[in-house]
Structure 1
Amino acid sequence: MYLPSAFKEEDLALLHQHMEGTRLAVLVTHGALGLLANHVPLLLSPNQGPNGTLHGHLAKANPQWKELASGAEALLIFAGPDAYVSPSFYPSKAEHGQVVPTWNFLAIHAYGTPEVFHDASRLLDLVSALTDKHEAGRAMPWAVEDAPKEYIDKMLGAIVGFAVPITRLEGKRKLNQNRNAADIAGVRDGLAASAAPNDNELARLMR
């Protein structure tokens, strides 16, 4: 990822917080089958390794798991909110007109060499933890054990688990940090006045 110094985010706790809040990441591999990408929910174990470890699973029918098993590096992308920034938001537009559109966004790229596993007990722990995470807050949360055991056993036999110790972590928070205070305030106010939730979230982050 292109990372100008003004937009580079290296606070590990902040990066982990954003990763935890991203419900669906993109898993990218490049191997014998070429470039492959799938959208997957992940669990982060922040204290496993210097940058944490990511855990997820794929359908056994999905050929990407074989690329993971090959020992090649994988990339996991965590995209955050994004917003189009109009030149009209900048007070400096009226001063000199030397402004162009841009895009504000948050993104994290995590790299590592995956470990693939088929152990039913470990897979059960993984899918149970993922379920508990995403069912939390519901009035009547569903749990894996609510389904018949033989059905769950069959479902576990149809997936492959993976763990990715993060060896490299890149974070980008592009929030107009390279502009003056007046322009930053103008963008923040412009996005806050938008009807789009993503724009409003970017405005909140710029505060």
Structure 2
Amino acid sequence: MVCQGNSRTVKSNQEGIHHKLDALVMRYKQTESKRPVSEHTREAFLAVEDWLDGWQGDIILDSCCGVGQSTATIAAGYPDCKVIGLDKSAMRLGKHSHYQSGADNYAVFRADVNDFWRLAVQGQWSVKKHYLLYPNPYPKSSQIQKRWYGSAAMVDLMALCPVIEVRSNWLLYLQEFAQAATHYGLSGEIEKVAKGQPMTPFERKYLASGQACWKLTTGKAKD
């Protein structure tokens, strides 16, 4: 039986790269964040460090992992890494049992990723790859500063790891992310997500609705 979806496409009053994008990225890059780290995320960070138990190998982050289907999938593809799924919603993480793989190289935790990224940077974590799958696109032009790359969080996001995979059903989101990343010496390639095994429930719904999904992969720009 073929799965059918009814997900709406992203609607935006913004037709191209936001005219304020570069200025916002540079402003935040030159400004130190004064935002206090939330106590519950500090506790979550300590819980993650306990789970890592002195691990000296590579770490993969799956930020805003939702129900954690993607975290389990990533862990299966990287058995020699420790994979950490992060989401701010206890309700979403509470549904992870439906997607749990039983692998022992991953775990999901409730945390504010803005704060967690900063703590991981301060802790000098060795992050091999960072996944940001289907973040809220905040498609209105006035919402540019709510998108990761248009916010203060971009500084820590860029400091954590140069290899980032972002997926979205809004191509402009990835184009803007790629442009923002160039200010940190990164280049990016965008390609269509092939139909196959969806990594997240959102991806499954979008593809079943006939929408195109895209992925951006960043890395250090070549000289």
Tell me if both proteins adopt one fold, taking TM over 0.5 as the criterion.
no
TM-score (structure 1 length as normaliser): 0.27
Q: Which has the higher strand share?
A: 1
TM-score (structure 2 length as normaliser): 0.26
